[in-house]
Structure 1
C-alpha cells in the first residue's frame, strides 16, 4: 500500500526552505501520496513545488465545496465535512478539522514551522499523539 505524507506549515512562510524541498524530493522519489491543505503559505508552496516537478500524486483537503487553492486540476480533492457547531467557530478553529483529517489519514507528517504558528504546532503535537512519523523543518 502506498504511504501518505501530510505536509503542513505556517501561512506566513513565503518560500520553501531547502531542507523542506529535499524532504519533498525524497517523498516524490518514493512515490508517496502527498496530503496538503488549501491555504496560502506552505500549502500553496507545496502544491506549486509538486506541480513544477510534474508530480501529481497529491490530494488537496478543504472544508469547502471547492478548495480555496488547488494549483493543478491533476491533484485530487478531499472535502472534509464539519459539523454545524464547528461551522460557527472562527476560521482557524474550523480549519483544525481539515488538519485532523489529514493527520488521521497519513503515515508521516512533515511540518514546516516558523516557531510561532499555533496551527502548525498543533499538527506537531497531534502527529506525536497519533504516533505518526514526524519531521519538523524550522523556518524562522
Structure 2
C-alpha cells in the first residue's frame, strides 16, 4: 500500500474538483493517507475521506490531541522541537509525514511557504507530488528539487524568500545536492 501525504494551505476552504477526484482515486486504490490536523486543506481532505468512511488514514498532530480528526482515525503525536514557536510548532509533524510518504498531493494557494516546503521535502527524497495551485488554477507534478525551484520561481520572489527562510540547514543541504 502506497502512502500519500495530503496537505495544503490553511486558507483554502474548498478543495478544487481535480483534487477531489484524485482523493477519490486514492480511496479506490486503497492507498494509505497521511494528513495533518490543521484547518483548511487538512480538514477539507479529512471531511471528504470521512464521507467515504475511509479507514486507511493517519492524522498527524503536534498538540496533545489533534485539532481535527473527523474520521476518528489513528492519531500520531509528533511533538515540536523544544523552544519551537510559530510555524515551527507544526514543522516536525510535516517533516514526519513527508518522510513516511511515497507520494504527495498538495493543494497550494501559490503563497503558503509551509505547503511549498512540504512539496520540497517530498521532491528531495524522490517522492512525486501532484500540486494543484488554486490561485492560478495550475497543476504540476513535482518530482525533483529543480522542478520545485521552477514552481517557486513562478510563485514569485516573496514566496521564495519566505520558504527558504523556514528551511532547516539540513533541508538547504538536501536541496543543493
TM-score (norm 1): 0.92
2: distance between equivalents of 1:129 and 1:99?
14
2: distance between equivalents of 1:91 and 1:72?
27
- Give 1:35-54 correspondences, 5 Å limit: 35-54=34-53
CA deviation after TM superposition for structure 1 residue 76, in Å: 1.0
- Please state if 1:16 is matched with 2:2: no
CA deviation after TM superposition for structure 1 residue 48, in Å: 0.3
Tell me how many residue pairs correspond in the alignment: 135
1: distance between equivalents of 2:103 and 2:48?
19
Unaligned runs of 5+ in 2: 136-177
Aligned equivalent of 1:124, options 89, 109, 119: 119
- Give 1:38-77 correspondences, 5 Å limit: 38-73=37-72, 75-77=73-75
- Structure with the bigger RCO (C-alpha within 8 Å, sep 6+) is 1
Aligned equivalent of 1:135, options 130, 149, 165: 130
Between 1:102-111 and 1:75-84, the stretch displaced more is 75-84
1: distance between equivalents of 2:80 and 2:93?
9
2: distance between equivalents of 1:71 and 1:35?
14
- Once the two structures are superposed, what CA deviation does each residue of 1:71-122 show, in whole Å capped at 9, x if it has no partner? 122x1111113332xxx23231121111100000110011100100000011
- Please state if 1:101 is matched with 2:96: yes
1: distance between equivalents of 2:110 and 2:62?
25
CA deviation after TM superposition for structure 1 residue 65, in Å: 2.0
Larger gyration radius, structure 1 or structure 2: 2
Alignment RMSD (CA, Å): 1.0
- Once the two structures are superposed, what CA deviation does each residue of 1:3-40 show, in whole Å capped at 9, x if it has no partner? 10000100000101001001101110110011000000
Partner of 1:48, secondary structure, is helix
C-alpha contact (below 8 Å) 2:81/2:89 kept by paired residues: no
2: distance between equivalents of 1:60 and 1:14?
18
TM-score (norm 2): 0.74
2: distance between equivalents of 1:48 and 1:91?
26
Partner of 1:91, secondary structure, is coil
